[in-house]
């Protein structure tokens, strides 16, 4: 009986320790730095500008159907959004054309189930001509809870709501202004490497290499870009972000890397593995090593103001107009 009581006390102490660690972890995750500790460094990195830039995440997905021409036009033609960067994602079609899509499959945003008669159809399994049949805004829900484009199918779908090829979106944006781009290659393996080849050739032919940050969550694609296209600007892969974080945490002096930009999740414990990446210590360390810091997906005005105050180089947001207002750019 005595041993059971002792065991019970030990378990209670252990539970208290675990709870204390958990509470401390939560407190650390939501800790905010003092902007007074922000430092300035000399830099040769073109993406470190001293003030926070505004990036339209998925072309402004909070207000418009993501990664459609309607969204790009909504940002370009409305001056209150003050967009500096457009962020979008690429997949390869069955006929080897790069198109804009965040997901591997088409169900979340489009009417693919009704058009193709099946769920979870992959972008990769359809040609561009087949994908052009879709309404890429069919599932869009606006802030009022409405689905204004859900009834559009077939010939009733306007061009601005159809899937976009990389060439189509670059044709529009390069004619519209001097924007920068954050472009993520979503696929890995051989398809991801082929996408990297094609993306590089397109950017080189358009003289856009200096205006684009290429990203990939796939290590093999990130490594391939570094090895084959050293004249590109690349963001860190998830493994590289972790390595950077450990170096920043310990103040490692001889830290080196092969990327120019860190794109970090903020205020999302799941995406950041419970690690608080929104600290002035992190930004100072990055800038000291000539690395730009960009945060996603920042939709709260409070978070925007905080990150800008501690030296974030870009706010990647679904709502560029909110960021413009916070940064007093309207």
Using one digit for the tens of pLDDT, what is the confidence trace for 249-295?
999 999 999 999 999 999 776 777 778 899 999 999 999 999 999 99
Q: Is residue 51 one of the residues assigned to a domain?
A: yes
Q: Is a pLDDT exceeding 80 seen at residue 10? A: no
* Residue 69: half-sphere exposure toward Cβ, Cα within 13 Å: 19
Q: Is residue 85 one of the residues assigned to a domain?
A: yes
Q: Is residue 86 one of the residues assigned to a domain?
A: yes
Question: Which residues make Cβ contacts (< 8 Å) with residue 181, sequence separation at least 6?
Answer: 85, 86, 87, 88, 173, 208, 211, 212, 213
Helix (H, G, I), strand (E, B) or coil at 35: helix
Q: How far is 259 from 37, CA to CA, in rounded Å?
A: 25
Q: Is residue 26 one of the residues assigned to a domain?
A: no
Total of domains in the chain: 1
The CATH number assigned to the domain holding 245 equals 3.20.20.190
Q: How far is 147 from 164, CA to CA, in rounded Å?
A: 21
Tokens of 220: 């093999």
As a whole number, the mean pLDDT across the chain is: 91
Among residues of the chain, what percentage have pLDDT more than 70? Answer: 90
Q: Is residue 12 one of the residues assigned to a domain?
A: no
pLDDT digits (tens, 9 = 90+) for 171-227: 999 999 999 999 999 999 999 999 999 999 999 999 999 999 999 999 999 999 999
Q: Give the domain extent around 198.
A: 36-102+163-326
pLDDT digits (tens, 9 = 90+) for 119-131: 999 999 999 999 9
3-state helix, strand, coil in the chain (%, to 5): 40, 15, 45
Q: Is residue 30 one of the residues assigned to a domain?
A: no
Q: Is a pLDDT exceeding 60 seen at residue 316? A: yes
Q: Is residue 17 one of the residues assigned to a domain?
A: no
Please give the sequence-ordered ranges of beta strands (E in DSSP) within 112-259, or none if there are none: 180-185, 212-215, 233-234
Q: Is residue 276 one of the residues assigned to a domain?
A: yes
Specify the residue for token string 């019970």: 8
Q: What is the pTM of this model?
A: 0.91
């Amino acid at each position: 009986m005595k041993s059971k009581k002792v065991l019970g006390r030990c378990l209670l102490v252990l539970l208290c320790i675990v709870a204390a660690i958990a509470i401390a972890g939560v407190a650390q995750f939501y800790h905010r730095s003092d902007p007074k500790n922000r430092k300035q460094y000399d830099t040769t990195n073109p993406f470190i500008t001293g003030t926070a830039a505004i990036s339209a995440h998925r072309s402004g997905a909070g207000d418009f159907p993501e990664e459609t021409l309607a969204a790009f036009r909504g940002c370009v033609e409305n001056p209150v959004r003050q967009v500096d960067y457009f962020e979008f994602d690429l997949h390869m079609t069955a006929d080897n054309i790069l198109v804009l899509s965040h997901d591997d499959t088409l169900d979340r945003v489009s009417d693919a189930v009704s058009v193709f008669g099946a769920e979870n159809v992959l972008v990769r399994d359809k040609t561009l001509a087949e994908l052009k049949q879709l309404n890429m805004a069919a599932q869009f829900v606006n802030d009022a809870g409405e689905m204004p484009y859900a009834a559009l199918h077939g010939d009733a779908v306007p061009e601005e709501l159809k899937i976009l090829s990389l060439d189509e979106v670059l044709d529009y944006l390069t004619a519209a202004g001097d924007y920068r781009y954050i472009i993520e290659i979503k696929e890995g393996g051989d398809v991801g490497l082929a996408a990297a080849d094609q993306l590089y050739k397109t950017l080189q032919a358009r003289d856009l290499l200096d205006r684009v940050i290429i990203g990939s969550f796939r290590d093999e694609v990130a490594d391939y870009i570094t090895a084959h296209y050293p004249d590109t600007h690349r963001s860190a892969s998830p493994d590289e972000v972790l390595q950077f974080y450990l170096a920043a945490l310990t103040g490692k002096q001889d830290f080196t890397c092969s990327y120019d930009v860190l794109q970090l999740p903020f205020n999302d414990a799941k995406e950041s593995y419970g690690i608080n990446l929104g600290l002035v210590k992190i930004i100072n360390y990055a800038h000291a090593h000539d690395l730009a810091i960009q945060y996603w997906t920042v939709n709260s005005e409070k978070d925007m103001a905080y990150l800008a105050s501690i030296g974030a180089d870009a706010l990647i947001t679904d709502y560029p107009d909110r960021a413009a207002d916070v940064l007093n750019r309207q």
